[in-house]
Amino acid sequence: MTGDLWRRAAPPLVTFVLGVALAELLIRALDVSPLILPRPSAVWSAATSEAGPLLAALAATARSVLAGLLLSSSVGVAAAVALAASPWMKRAFYPYAIFFQIVPIVAIAPLLVIWFGYGPRAVVAAAAVVSVFPVIANTLAGLLSVDPNLADLFRLHGASRTATLWKLRLPWALPYLLTGLRIAAGLAVIGAIVGEFVGGGGLGVVVLGAMRQQRTDLVFAAIGYASLLGLALFAAVGLASRLALRHWHASEGGER
């Protein structure tokens, strides 16, 4: 198990270390201004010396991202269930769900601040708005792909709509929902940081402040922390789907 993990983790780690070393050498050799591109070692020292405020900002952003994801996944699943209720519902409302897919979050973030005020509420809303569409789209696809024979089986035994929803349709849609959540997790981090640019708080504000002080190293350090957050969320959703779907098919157990 650990050997397997090592075999999978080693190649990207090696390329990371080599890439960082190469960047360090090139930036030194070409004498690039630290305002444009700071050396990796400078980014590292900013990341460690400012670790206190960066971690606090990370925690604030993480809270907003998690709250936003919670919101978008529950609203998204509920919306998908409603849209799947009848072909008419889907035809009437689904085109408007696509609005969430195409909305430029940078443009509506100020609007969210007008509605929810400065602070985490607007940031949570921004994270939720950008991450809700993949949840709706994937869950809906899952709900609509239920095996018709199984639907017949439920009908044959006089299952109620509620029983069919809980015992057949929702579990059937679970792998689809988890795929949607994996996409939503990455988008929620983007939404939260853009939300923070306007609404304040978290890593978004650290990036803005560092930019004003021309601390490019600190900007990079904040980006690094944000990437860690995205990575951790992505891994958490991956782990959750592995656990939830471990019995479903052989493919979830092994490498995909």
Q: Does 256 bind another protein (CB under 8 A)?
A: no
| Helix/strand/coil (H/E/C) assignment for every residue in 177-188 | HHHHHHHHHHHH
Q: Would you say 159 or 208 has its CB closer to another protein?
A: 159
Site for another protein in 83-102 (CB under 8 A): none
Conformational region of residue 118, where left means phi above 0, alpha means psi within -120 to 50, and beta covers everything else: beta
Q: Does 230 bind another protein (CB under 8 A)?
A: no
Q: Of the candidates 132, 126, 123, 120, which has an alpha carbon nearest to the alpha carbon of residue 105?
A: 126
CB of 113 to another protein, least distance (A): 42
The whole-angstrom separation of Cα 130 and Cα 144 is: 23
Q: Of the candidates 126, 232, 224, which has an alpha carbon nearest to the alpha carbon of residue 185?
A: 232
Q: Would you say 177 or 203 has its CB closer to another protein?
A: 177
Site pattern 121..150 for another protein (x: CB under 8 A): --------------------------x-xx
Q: Does 165 bind another protein (CB under 8 A)?
A: no
CB of 181 to another protein, least distance (A): 17
Q: Of the candidates 205, 187, 199, 208, which has an alpha carbon nearest to the alpha carbon of residue 132?
A: 187
Q: Widest CA span of the chain, in angstroms? A: 76
Q: Would you say 172 or 197 has its CB closer to another protein?
A: 172
- Taking CB under 8 A as the criterion, the residue among 112, 126, 168, 177 binding another protein is 168
Where do the H-state alpha helices sit in 85-147? 87-102, 105-116, 120-144
Q: Would you say 20 or 151 has its CB closer to another protein?
A: 151
Count, residues near another protein per rule CB under 8 A: 20
- Taking CB under 8 A as the criterion, the residue among 116, 154, 197, 234 binding another protein is 154
Contacts of 97 (CB under 8 A, 6+ apart): 79, 83, 133, 136, 137
Point out which span in 5-13, 104-112, 184-192, 245-253 binds another protein (CB under 8 A). Answer: 245-253
